[in-house]
Amino acid sequence: MAGLLSAHVPISSRIANGVVLLESAETATFTEWCEAFKGFLADPDYRPSMGVIHDWRRLLTAPPSTEIMARAEYVTEIPAMKGTRWALIVAGTAAYGMGRMAEILMETSSVELRVFRDMAEAEAWVRGG
């Protein structure tokens, strides 16, 4: 996933090997995050319930709690997300905490979200392993 972003794009998306890959280089606004989300939903290679990996390891600061709440609500309202496994890859403690908050917010939804520190583990999990 290295090299997906330019210096002016806080978040990017692409589909590779049957998994949606999102990468953030800086904390994106809700609008920027939604645009990346809509981008992969519109991709002709996207299939409903396809696993999603969002790489936050390059973030210097974690998104604020209001952002996490808004994103969790948005994801759970999209019919194409039903049955999706969504992995967050984090490096720092604050990002891990925000990821755990998202896990808790989404516990009762049809979208499973988990926080990981290892890309291989996250990829295995979103593929159903």
Q: What is the pLDDT of residues 40-56, one digit of tens each?
A: 999 999 998 899 999 99
Q: Span 6-12, mean pLDDT?
A: 66
Q: 11-126 has which CATH code?
A: 3.30.750.24
Enter the pTM of the model. 0.87
Place of tokens 């808004």: 70
Q: What is the mean pLDDT of the chain?
A: 88
Domain ranges of the chain: 11-126
Give, for 116, the enclosing helix (H) or strand (E). Answer: strand 112-116
Distance (Å, whole) CA 95 – CA 15: 24
Exposed / middle / buried, residue 64 (Cβ in 10 Å: 0-12, 13-18, 19+): exposed
What letter represents residue 128's amino acid? G
